[in-house]
């Protein structure tokens, strides 16, 4: 089962490394692997959340997520999306933006001799609004989880009071709105305050719209998609859309982090997309097929707390530079702790039964 699920990812990893070697020699091949590891470490919590949503989708929409969704993740978010940002930020045409990406200044300089900014500089300059959008989307996802009452809690001393507070209508929107205002006021650069506010509001609206439409058409009982939802496909479509927006919120952080390693968009696309994104997809399928989330009940909690931490990191990164190692480790540590708690709970239940 493991080979069947991860087999395609392994094949594409080998192909990506080979293409990297042909494209840029041994150094490029090594960079492809390093970027793949970076993407997996940053997106492990994304895989857990993906699995919680994917298991509610019909077989048809699961296949769409694992085919069309992969193409969007690999080519759209890891290659085309950064180019579109540079295109929009610089006013260059798409061909000129691609040429700018493929021909960076010598010695990794931030500008060309004529003073024009590099592809990396333009992409980094767009970080505040992208971080605001992604941070607010992820914050809404986290708040929606912790403000909801549930039978099983992991950090009960925090989750139970938050669930009680969540009975207040629209509390998540209020908390997220306050966080956005504070971010724009105290963290955003002076010339980016309005764009951060607009991007953050768009992130909130996108979450509310996509999540709300998914819940509206999902007539199931929460344990899986109902027959009506499977038949109409509307719930599956909006869940698919939700997953793609979620992936977008995660992916840009990885793209920005990749520039600490290389500015070459081809190597970034190979490492983050063909290695990292595909392995995250395979890991998502593995979690669903193995029923891991049902067996280790705190994993979903750990992933949501990791997403909450990532949303805060994204918002703080608008004004403060944060090392990507910290970003990756926070998620890994929280999910690791939730896994350990799940194992301990299972042993306790087995001993008392």
Using alpha carbons, select from 330, 272, 351, 312 the residue that is nearest to residue 34.
Answer: 272
236 class by beta-carbon count within 10 Å (0-12 exposed, 13-18 middle, 19+ buried): buried
Q: Give the C-alpha distances (Å, rounded to integers) separating 37 from 179, 278, 331.
A: 31, 12, 14
Instruction: Give the pLDDT of residue 218.
Output: 56
In the block, tokens 């970076």 appear at 38
CA angle 210, 215, 216 (to 5 degrees): 95
CA distance 94 to 80: 10
Instruction: Give the pLDDT of residue 260.
Output: 64
Instruction: Give the pLDDT of residue 266.
Output: 84
DSSP assignment of 147-184: TS--S--SSHHHHHHHHHHTTSTTHHHHHHHHHHHHHH
CA distance 266 to 65: 24
CA distance 74 to 79: 7
Contacts of 14 by beta carbon, 8 Å cutoff, 6+ apart: none
3 state DSSP class of 100? helix
CA distance 263 to 108: 8
Instruction: Give the pLDDT of residue 147.
Output: 94
Q: Quote the pTM value.
A: 0.82
Instruction: Give the pLDDT of residue 38.
Output: 79
Using alpha carbons, select from 344, 348, 337 the residue that is nearest to residue 155.
Answer: 337
Beta bridge partner(s), residue 117: 111
Helices (H), 55-126: 59-71, 81-90, 94-102, 119-125
3 state DSSP class of 292? helix
* CA quadruple 256, 259, 264, 269: dihedral sign: negative
User: pLDDT tens digits, the chain, 353 residues: what are they?
Assistant: 677 888 888 898 999 999 999 998 999 999 998 888 878 877 778 888 888 888 878 888 888 887 888 788 777 777 787 777 777 766 777 778 778 877 777 766 667 777 788 777 887 788 898 889 989 999 999 999 999 998 899 999 999 999 999 988 889 999 999 999 999 999 999 989 999 999 999 999 988 988 877 666 554 444 433 444 443 467 778 788 888 887 777 776 677 667 667 767 788 888 888 888 888 888 888 888 888 888 899 999 998 998 899 899 999 999 998 877 777 788 888 989 999 999 999 999 888 87
Instruction: Give the pLDDT of residue 227.
Output: 41
CA distance 316 to 127: 12
3 state DSSP class of 275? helix
Instruction: Give the pLDDT of residue 197.
Output: 96
Question: Six-digit token pair at 266?
Answer: 């081809």
Rg (CA), the chain: 21
State residue 349 phi and psi, 5-degree precision: -65, -40
Beta bridge partner(s), residue 111: 117
Instruction: Give the pLDDT of residue 107.
Output: 67
CA distance 86 to 351: 58
Contacts of 108 by beta carbon, 8 Å cutoff, 6+ apart: 263
Question: DSSP state, 118?
Answer: P
In the block, tokens 């793209």 appear at 255
Instruction: Give the pLDDT of residue 276.
Output: 85
In the block, tokens 């992820």 appear at 138
CA distance 91 to 308: 34
């Amino acid at each position: 089962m493991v080979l069947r699920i991860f087999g395609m990812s392994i094949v594409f990893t080998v192909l990506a490394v080979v293409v990297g070697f042909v494209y840029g020699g041994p150094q490029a091949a090594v960079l492809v692997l390093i970027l793949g590891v970076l993407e997996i470490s940053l997106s492990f919590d994304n895989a857990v959340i993906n699995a919680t949503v994917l298991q509610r989708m019909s077989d048809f929409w699961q296949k769409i997520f694992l085919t069309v969704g992969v193409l969007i993740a690999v080519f759209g978010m890891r290659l085309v999306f950064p180019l579109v940002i540079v295109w929009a930020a610089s006013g260059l045409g798409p061909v000129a933006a691609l040429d700018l990406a493929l021909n960076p200044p010598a010695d990794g300089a931030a500008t060309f001799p004529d003073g024009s900014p590099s592809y990396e500089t333009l992409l980094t300059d767009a970080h505040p609004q992208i971080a605001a959008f992604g941070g607010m989307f992820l914050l809404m996802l986290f708040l929606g989880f912790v403000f909801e009452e549930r039978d099983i809690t992991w950090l009960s001393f925090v989750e139970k009071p938050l669930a009680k507070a969540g009975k207040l209508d629209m509390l998540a929107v209020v908390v997220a709105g306050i966080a956005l205002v504070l971010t724009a006021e105290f963290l955003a650069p002076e010339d980016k305050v309005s764009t951060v506010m607009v991007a953050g509001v768009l992130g909130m609206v996108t979450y509310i719209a996509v999540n709300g439409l998914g819940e509206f058409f999902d007539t199931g009982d929460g344990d899986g998609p109902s027959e009506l939802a499977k038949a109409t496909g509307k719930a599956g479509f909006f869940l698919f859309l939700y997953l793609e927006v979620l992936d977008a919120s995660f992916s840009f952080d990885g793209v920005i982090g990749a520039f600490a390693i290389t500015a070459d968009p081809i190597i970034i696309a190979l490492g983050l997309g063909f290695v990292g994104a595909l392995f995250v997809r395979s890991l998502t399928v593995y979690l669903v097929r193995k029923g891991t989330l049902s067996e280790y009940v705190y994993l979903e909690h750990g992933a949501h707390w990791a997403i909450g931490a990532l949303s805060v990191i994204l918002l703080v990164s608008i004004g403060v530079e944060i090392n990507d190692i910290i970003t990756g480790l926070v998620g890994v540590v929280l999910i690791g702790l939730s896994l350990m708690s799940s194992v301990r709970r299972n042993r306790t239940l087995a001993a008392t039964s």
